[in-house]
C-alpha cells in the first residue's frame, strides 16, 4: 500500500513522517509475505490491517510514549508485532523489547526489525517469565491465554512504570483483579475497534 493511502487511513489517530510511512508500508508488505506461510493475522485486507493493527498500535503509542521518549518498552506476546513494532516506529529514542515464544513469529519480528532498520528494537525469543529486566512501559494486545500471561507482564513493570493493556471491555474487571497493586485510569476506547479498550495501570514507586 502506498504512503498516501496509509497516511489517510491513520489520520484520525496519528500523523507520521515520510520515513515512518515508508516503514509502515514495508512492514505491511513483509507481513503479507510471511502470512502466506505462517499464521500471523487473520486479517488479509490491507486497509483493515492499517486501521485495525496499525491504528490501534499507534493509538497506544500516543497515549503511552512521547516520540522522543528515552524509555524501555516491553511488548509481551508480540505475535505479528502489534503494538510493539509500530510503537518502535513512533518513538525512535525508546528501547523496545519484543517478547515472543513462538520461534517462527520471533524470526518474522527479527526480519521486520532488520528490514526497517529499527536498531533500537530487539526480540526475546522466549516466555515473559524467563525475561530478566523491567520496562518503563509494558504492553499486551490480543494475547492468547490472557489470564496466564498477564501476571508475568505485570512483574516486568518497573517502579512507577505503566502497564498498557489492549483488551476487550469485558476483560477489564478480570485484568484489574489479576494485576493488583496498580492504579488504573479510566479506560480509553480504541478508534476503529468494536469493543477493545486501552487500559493503563501505573505501578507505585517502592522505596527500598
Domain-by-domain residue ranges, the chain? 60-202
Query: In the predicted model, is pLDDT for residue 205 greater than 90?
Result: no
Distances (CA, A) of 58 to 33, 54, 62, 83, 151: 22, 6, 6, 7, 25
Nearest alpha-carbon partner for 97 in 117, 71, 123: 123
Query: What number is the average pLDDT over the span 189-193?
Result: 83
- Assign domain 60-202 one CATH number from 3.20.20.70, 3.20.110.10, 3.40.605.10, 3.40.50.150: 3.40.50.150
* 68-93 tens-digit pLDDT: 989 999 999 999 999 999 999 999 99
pLDDT score for 72: 98
pLDDT score for 208: 62
Give the residue, 193 or 128, on which the prediction is more confident: 128
pLDDT score for 193: 75
pLDDT score for 35: 95
pLDDT score for 4: 95
Q: Which pairs from 5-11 meet CB under 8 Å and 24+ separation?
A: 5/47, 5/50, 6/50, 6/54, 9/47, 9/50, 9/51, 9/55, 10/50, 10/54, 10/55, 10/58
Taking each helix axis from N to C end, the angle separating 3-10 and 55-64, rounded to the nearest 10 degrees, works out to: 60
pLDDT score for 202: 97
* 121-166 tens-digit pLDDT: 999 999 999 999 999 999 999 777 888 999 999 999 999 999 999 9
pLDDT score for 207: 66
* 13-72 tens-digit pLDDT: 999 999 999 999 999 999 999 999 999 999 989 999 999 999 999 999 999 999 998 999
Query: In the predicted model, is pLDDT for residue 192 greater than 90?
Result: no
CA 74 to chain CA centroid, nearest Å: 8
Amino acid at each position: 500500500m502506498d504512503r498516501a493511502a496509509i497516511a489517510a487511513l491513520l489520520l484520525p489517530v496519528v500523523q507520521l513522517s515520510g520515513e515512518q510511512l515508508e516503514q509502515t508500508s514495508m512492514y505491511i508488505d513483509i507481513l503479507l509475505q510471511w502470512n502466506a506461510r505462517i499464521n500471523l493475522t487473520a486479517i488479509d485486507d490491507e486497509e483493515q490491517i492499517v486501521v485495525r493493527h496499525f491504528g490501534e498500535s499507534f493509538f497506544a503509542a500516543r497515549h503511552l510514549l512521547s516520540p522522543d521518549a528515552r524509555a524501555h518498552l516491553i511488548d509481551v506476546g508480540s505475535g505479528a508485532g502489534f503494538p510493539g513494532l509500530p510503537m518502535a516506529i513512533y518513538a525512535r529514542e525508546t528501547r523496545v523489547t519484543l517478547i515472543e515464544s513462538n520461534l517462527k513469529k520471533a524470526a518474522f519480528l527479527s526480519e521486520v526489525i532488520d528490514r526497517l532498520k529499527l536498531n533500537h528494537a530487539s526480540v526475546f525469543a522466549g516466555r515473559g517469565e524467563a525475561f530478566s529486566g523491567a520496562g518503563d512501559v509494558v504492553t499486551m494486545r490480543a494475547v492468547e491465554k490472557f489470564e496466564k500471561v498477564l501476571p508475568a507482564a505485570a512483574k516486568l513493570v518497573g517502579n512507577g512504570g505503566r502497564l498498557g493493556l489492549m483488551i476487550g471491555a469485558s476483560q477489564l474487571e478480570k485484568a484489574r483483579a489479576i494485576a493488583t497493586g496498580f492504579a488504573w485510569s479510566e479506560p480509553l476506547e480504541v478508534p476503529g475497534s468494536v469493543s477493545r479498550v486501552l487500559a493503563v495501570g501505573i505501578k507505585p514507586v517502592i522505596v527500598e
